[in-house]
Chain A
Amino acid sequence: MAVARSHPALTVGKYAALLGYLTFALFPLYWLFKIAITPDQLIFTEGTNLWPSALTIDNFRTVLFQTDFLAYFGNSLFVSLGTAAVTTVIAAGAGYAFSRFDFGGKRLIIAVMLVTQMFPLLMIIAPIYKIVASLGMLNSLTSLIVVYTAFNIPFATFLMQSFFDGIPKDLEEAAMMDGCSRFQALRKVIFPLTLPGLGATLGFVFTAAWSELLFALMLISKNEAMTFPVGLLTFVSKFSVDWGQMMAAGVLALIPSCLFFIFIQRYLVQGLTSGAVKG
């Protein structure tokens, strides 16, 4: 990949492009943070200044101690972790089956799983609402876990399958010759080698569930069951939007995602490459 010696202008251009992209991608995050630490009275007067003339942490204090933010946060954590765990377990099993076994209908199942990914979510919101409502599961976090899991399984399965495909079949066969049952081979040999893949899948699903708004908005209306993205909307009242608190809540919401990615990034980088490229 790396060219041994490239023209200086090319190098500069390359870094300029990278810088441009990073600025573009990170600026909203910066703006989020800036508004969160800007005192309320300055938000509109200094609207376009890159840095406010005074700083405050009042927004954070209010969000943490005077709103239901912590409850939303806890709900989101529960839903995201639950979804990530359930999805990863199912996807790992399905991915393993797709990677290792030949069975009737395998191609059909893969095709159907692909089809589920082709529809815009908006199209199925109403039916999903109807189903969940008739099951009496509106306003429950479990229903969110079930719905998110259903939506994430296809992609997660393909991801896991590519990780399993990257692990030579010989290893399992060697383990079986060494006296393992198939399950023992899976547990003692394949599982440890799949950890990067599991990490990548967990991270992907966690993030997807953490930031999901549409279904949470439709299926949850009670304050105590709101997830964090829905809760953010409570900062929008009839007559005003409490920008400072909303942004402070947003900054806080980034923390778990960041922690999670710091925790798994070692596996993620290794995982995404080792899964995608064989050998």
Chain B
Amino acid sequence: MARIELRDVVKRYGAVEVLRDINLDIQDGEFIVLVGPSGCGKSTLLRMIAGLEPITEGDFTIDGVRMNDVRPRDRDIAMVFQSYALYPHMDVARNMGFSMEIRKDPVQDRIDRVRGAADTLGLSALTKRLPKALSGGQRQRVAMGRAIIRDPRAFLFDEPLSNLDAALRVEMRLEIARLHQKLGATMVYVTHDQVEALTLADRIVVLNGGDIQQVGSPLELYERPANKFVAQFIGSPTMNVLPVTGGDHGVTVANGVTLALPHLPDTLQATELGIRPEHLDVVPAGAGEIAGVADVVEHLGSDTNIYANIEGLGSLMIRKHGNIPIRSGDRLGLRFQTENAHIFAADGTALRRATGSADKAESGHAPTRSLDSDPLAVLLEDPQ
């Protein structure tokens, strides 16, 4: 049980600033996912919470106690590593019970807890094996077992699923979600995979270039991205972005078509329009706002992805549920679901009505944890 706070945290390596002004409140029992492209500082931030990297500036507290200078072993935090980091010379049981061994807990207690954790994770038959005799998924489970056995205040996960194959990743993702529901512990999870982020998180922290771009629930980030980076990073397939000229009540795309955007203010400042693939409708050729030619069509069974070439605009991606009878080379019309369109100013900031969202100000503010945001029922489907 832990509430983790980061206040004005900065991390520098020499002159290189890798994290700037990180402000984050993590509520007790919250599942926070740090997501961003590689090199954005997300792993560094996690390692600073773990105590494996010193914090250059700012305060880091757990339950109100400043932790900056506390050694990792005294922070009572467990971490699951990307490489699993199982001790190669110890069997599964000893790997899992190692923290209790170090703490000199009673042996019987340790045996009982290891057995309990092994049962939970389906490892009972493997407790005498060495890590090298385990499959990737089993190793991952042992690493998780090693973390849960301690009953720590918080769990940290550093891209724990990135070494697993696609099917196993989905399975382990579910297990982590279950684990969180069962333990109700504070969890901080680092990934570059936005599907993991969207499915697991209570709140997602999007990082880029050492700055927090936005903090919010998966749906908030999807529906009201604070800027173009978040808009393009969250959501799969990626949002289409078109250059536009801002007008009084709408925007004009490069081939001269004007789209009315009554729900958005500040259209004058808009330089780009963002529209997600699922917010474009395919209509018969001649209808809709713009016309195009289907270039590549991917039939996924549940969905159809259409890459359409639009004269003067380049390529747009459209995603529709079900099997759409379109073939490569077909002419088609496209209609924008303008109520779902986003516009961005020249600096990439999303322009929108003041009401309902103040994402910029949201960084650092934790909305109460929404219990109804079932991590697995978010609208995005897994691309795999």
Q: Which residues on A are within 8 Å of B, measured CB to CB?
A: 168, 170-171, 173-181, 184, 188-189, 192-193
Q: Which residues of A contact B51 (CB under 8 A)?
A: 176
B89 at the interface (CB under 8 A from A): yes
- The A interface is mostly helix, strand or loop, or mixed, namely helix
B residues at A contact (CB < 8 Å): 50-52, 71-73, 77-79, 81-83, 85-89, 98-99, 102-103, 146, 150
Q: Which 7 interchain pairs have the tightest Cβ spacing?
A: A170-B85, A174-B85, A178-B99, A179-B102, A179-B73, A176-B72, A177-B79
Instruction: Find chain A residues with CB under 8 A from B88 CB.
Output: 171, 193
Please indicate which of the listed interface residues B50, B83, B85, B150 has the most CB atoms of chain A within 10 Å of its own CB: B85
Contact B103 A179 (CB under 8 A): yes
Q: How far is the CA of A171 from the CA of B143 in the complex (A)?
A: 12
Closest to B104 in A: A179
Known: A193-B88, A193-B89. A178 touches B98 (CB 8 A): yes
Q: Do A173 and B89 contact each other (CB < 8 Å), given the known contacts A179-B103, A180-B102, A184-B102?
A: no
Residue numbers in A under 8 Å from B50 (CB-CB)? 173, 177
With A177-B77, A178-B78, A188-B102 given, name 12 new contacts (CB 8 A): A170-B83, A171-B87, A173-B72, A173-B85, A176-B73, A177-B72, A177-B79, A179-B99, A179-B102, A179-B103, A192-B89, A193-B89
B72 to A, closest residue via Cβ = A176
The interface centre, meaning the residue of B52, B78, B150 with most chain A CB atoms within 10 A of its CB, is B52
A184 to chain B: which residues have CB within 8 Å?
Answer: 102
Rounded to whole angstroms, the CA-CA distance of A216 and B356 in the bound complex is 86
Q: Which of chain A's residues have a CB closer than 8 A to the CB of B85?
A: 168, 170-171, 173-174
Within the assembled complex, what's the spacing in Å between the Cα atoms of A184 and B101? 12
| Cβ–Cβ contact A174 & B81, under 8 A | yes
Determine how close the nearest CB of chain B comes to the CB of A197; give it in whole angstroms.
Answer: 14
Taken together as a complex, chains A and B put the C-alpha atoms of A168 and B82 apart, in Å, by: 12
Name A175's contact: one of B71, B98, B103 (CB within 8 Å): B98
Given contacts A181-B73, A189-B87, contact A173 B81 (CB under 8 A): yes
Residues of B within 8 A of A181 (CB): 71, 73
User: Which residues of chain A come closer than 8 Å to B150, judged between CB atoms?
Assistant: 178-179
CB distance from B178 to the nearest CB of A (A): 23
Pick from A168, A178, A188, A192 the residue with the most CB of B within 10 Å: A178
In the complex, residue of chain B having the shortest beta-carbon distance to the beta carbon of A171: B85
Residues of A within 8 A of B86 (CB): 174
Is the Cβ of A174 less than 8 Å from the Cβ of B79?
yes
In the assembled complex, how far is the CB of residue A171 from the closest CB belonging to chain B, in whole angstroms?
5
Which listed residue (B52, B73, B81, B89) contacts A180, Cβ 8 A?
B73
Query: When chains A and B are docked, how far (Å) is the Cα of A192 from the Cα of B73?
Result: 21
Instruction: State which of B71, B78, B81, B146 has its C-beta within 8 Å of the C-beta of A170.
Output: B81
Q: How far is the CB of A210 from chain B (nearest CB, A)?
A: 31
Task: Tell me, in angstroms, the Cα distance from A168 to B104 when the chains sit together.
Answer: 26
Name the residue of chain B whose CB is nearest to the CB of A189.
Answer: B87
- Measured in the bound complex, the distance between the Cα atoms of B89 and A168 in whole Å is 14
**Cross-chain contact A176 with B52 (CB below 8 angstroms):** yes
Instruction: Please indicate the chain A residues that have their CB under 8 angstroms from the CB of B102 in the complex.
Output: 178-180, 184, 188
Closest A residue to B143 by beta carbon equals: A174
